[in-house]
Amino acid sequence: MRFNAVVAGVGMTAFGKHMDRGLKSLGAEAVQAALADAGVEANALEAAYVGNAAAGVVTGQESIRGQVILRSIGLGRLPVVNVENACASSSTAFNQACAMVSAGFYDIVLALGVEKLYHADKKVSFGAFTGAVDVEAMSTIMEQLQQSAKSSGAKSASSGSGEKRSMFMDIYAQVARAHMTAYGTTVEQYAAVSAKNSFHGSLNPRAQFREALTVEEVLAQPMIAEPLTRSMCSPIGDGAAAVVVMSERKARELGVSRPVNVASSVLRSGWDHDPAAPGTGDVCSAEAYEEAGVGPEELDVIELHDASAPSEVFAYESLSLCGKGEGGRLIEEGVTRLGGRCPVNTSGGLLRKGHPVGATGIAQIVELTEQLQGRSGDRQVEGAKVALAHNGGGTIGPDAAAMCVTILKA
């Protein structure tokens, strides 16, 4: 579809361990910041789309998550749509908000992503991820992961999945080992992703981790699931991010000074296909490029779903930044580092900014909006005009269960 929606204002919390704060506190901070940034009052909102993935498991808040959060700051009456789509929850909320504005149903809409993952019992936090696969096939999935680990000699990955760590780290590790076997990708190249994103995160005051790491320091950290050391795995986190979406007409009418245009937003779910065939990331990005009228060579800055360091390498290939099997070379050549041809994850990405899953997708939109508006401070990409957000969620079979790719233009 042709989008005529713009991002008029953004806001987000710092991501991190907020044991003393709940969903209402985090969500309120992000919403109020986005409204202030857009220069509109709360009563101007006509609808709200609220993304959250794990509150039911971690906090016990089910069914009316968005309404509870928004009522805490006096936002009632308006229609609230709760969106749950694994790690793609808030990018899906943003996609739907933009679609409804573009279709002419609303002129001013809020899209919010919010998550609390830290819990006194770590098993509760890790359990939030367990439901993002086909639970009826859980025993088969776990057996397959263990067999893969043992056959490759991966001792750390042979036990503890879902108890000592998110089971998704084992899934990413399995794919990482396969990529190394098929294409010669090295563990040093994976570590270089973590080192790059740690440098970017060191420049981001809202990032969960601000320490810059070298490749050697990444490799020296404790092994989680071979070949992933601790810094190659995205951390859990608490946080919220929000955007105010407007129609182009309303933005002009209100005199929004620096609107960012939504050039395309493609949302798809995975399907059964040959593992060698194009997957959801490939298909979504190809559609997004066509819809926006741009190619990958025209992108100035990207926020992508680096739930693990290898995931970023795979995404380079899915987004056609390079050919299949060439993602390791791209990171090695510095193309995706600040100062490179196309910086990726200038926020620090999920690896360093943090990954409160229900907030991650809109946090990407916040980072890219600020980049396109020239207000990213020390991590600013000079002259950025075209940006892409890539956010996946869940796994079924060999592919993501949900995927959203959005292109923004200054």
Catalytic-labelled residue, pool 98, 355, 390, 404: 355
Q: Which residues contact 291 (CB under 8 A, 6 or more apart)?
A: 1, 3, 263, 264, 266, 407
Catalytic-labelled residue, pool 87, 98, 284, 404: 87
Alpha-carbon torsion, ordered 69, 71, 75, 81, to 10 deg: 50
Question: Is there a contact between 223 and 261 (Cβ–Cβ < 8 Å)?
Answer: no
Give the phi and the psi of residue 23 in degrees, each rounded to 5.
-60, -40
Cα(20)–Cα(379) distance, rounded to whole angstroms? Answer: 30
* 87 flagged as catalytic: yes
Q: Which residues contact 189 (CB under 8 A, 6 or more apart)?
A: 313, 327, 328, 329, 331, 332
Question: Is there a contact between 390 and 304 (Cβ–Cβ < 8 Å)?
Answer: yes
Give the phi and the psi of residue 219 in degrees, each rounded to 5.
-70, -25
What sign for the dihedral angle of Cα 223, 397, 188, 377?
A: negative
Cα(179)–Cα(167) distance, rounded to whole angstroms? Answer: 19
188 sits in which H/E element: helix 187-202
Cα(136)–Cα(133) distance, rounded to whole angstroms? Answer: 9
Question: Is there a contact between 331 and 189 (Cβ–Cβ < 8 Å)?
Answer: yes
Cα(40)–Cα(34) distance, rounded to whole angstroms? Answer: 9
Give the phi and the psi of residue 222 in degrees, each rounded to 5.
-55, 140
Closest to 335 in 3D by CA, of 351, 350, 319? 319
101 sits in which H/E element: helix 89-102
Cα(189)–Cα(177) distance, rounded to whole angstroms? Answer: 13
Cα(209)–Cα(188) distance, rounded to whole angstroms? Answer: 21
List active site positions.
Answer: 87, 355
